[in-house]
Amino acid sequence: MDKLSYKLESFEGPLDLLLHLIAKNKLNIYDINICELVSQYLDCINKMKEQDMDLSSDFLEMASRLVYIKSVSLLPKDNESEQLKDKLSGELIEYRTVKLLAAELAKNTDGFSKFVRRPDMPEVDQTYVLTHDSGVLSHWYLAAVGRGLRRLPPPTTAFEPLVKKPVIPVSAKIVYIMRRLFNGVKVKYKSIFSEVKSKSEAVATFLAVLELIRGGRIAMDDEDNLKMAGKDK
C-alpha cells in the first residue's frame, strides 16, 4: 500500500473517510484488507488531532471498531471477523450508493435549495348545497332588487316637465309691455302678471320691467302704475 499523503479535507463522517482511503489505495470494497485500512485510518485520525481539527465521537468509535475487527481477525479459526468485515463492507457500499445518487440529484436540480414543484390545484366543488325557506329567499331577493334600483340613475321621463317647459325670452316680454303701454296708457304693475302661466314667464316679465325702467323707457308712479316715460295721462 502507498504511504498516505494526507491533505486537510472535510469528511462528512467516518464512512466518508473510509471510502476516501479505499479509493485512494484501490482496495477491494467487497473484501477489505482490514489491517492495511486500520493503519491508514488511524494515521488520518492522528493527523487531524495534530492539526487541532474537531473530531466527532463517530470517528473515534469507528477507530475502535476497526481495531476490534483487526484484533479478532488475528485469532485462529474465528468467523466473527469475517462477519464484522462483511457488515462494514455492506455499510460502505450502501453509503457510497447513497452518496452517488445524492450527487446526481443535486446536479439535475441545480442544488437542493432550488428544488421546487408546482403546487397542486385540487378541484373544488362550488355547488351551493344549503336550503332556505322560500319566504326568506323572496324577502331578501326583493330587498336586493330594491337596493339595485335605488342605485340606478333616474329615468329620462323624470326630467320631461323641466325640459319641455318653454323658455320665455325677456325680449318678448319687453315687446309685450311696450304694447300694453302704447299711446300713454297707464297699467297697474300687478296686471302685467295677470296672464303669466309659469314661473319662468313671471321671471322674464319681472326682468323686462326692470330693464325698461333702468333704460328710462317706462316709469312707475306712487300708485304702482306703469306708463311710458315722459307721458302723463
Contact 191/201 with Cβ under 8 angstroms?
A: no
- pLDDT of 5: 40
- Report the CATH number that the domain containing residue 190 is assigned in CATH: 1.10.10
Domain count of the chain? 2
Contact 168/201 with Cβ under 8 angstroms?
A: yes
Are residue 19 and residue 107 in the same domain, yes or no? yes
pLDDT truncated to tens, each residue of the chain (233 aa)?
444 444 435 677 788 878 778 777 777 777 777 777 888 888 887 877 776 666 667 777 888 888 887 787 777 766 777 788 788 888 888 888 888 888 777 777 655 555 567 777 778 777 777 777 777 777 777 777 665 555 555 566 655 555 556 678 888 888 888 888 887 788 888 888 888 888 888 888 899 888 888 888 888 888 888 888 775 54
- CA-to-CA separations, 168 to 69, 144, 181, 194, in angstroms, rounded: 123, 45, 20, 16
- pLDDT of 97: 87
- pLDDT of 4: 41
Is 67 contained in some domain? yes
Grid coordinates of 150 = 335605488
If one counts every other C-beta atom within 10 angstroms of the C-beta of residue 27, the result is 18
Residue type, 19: L
User: In angstroms, rounded to a whole number, what is the distance separating the alpha carbons of residues 42 and 17?
Assistant: 11
- pLDDT of 113: 59
Is 134 contained in some domain? no
Grid coordinates of 8 = 486537510
Is 5 contained in some domain? no
Tell me which residue range forms the domain holding 219. 162-228
Are residue 109 and residue 173 in the same domain, yes or no? no
What is the pTM assigned to this prediction? 0.38
Is 156 contained in some domain? no
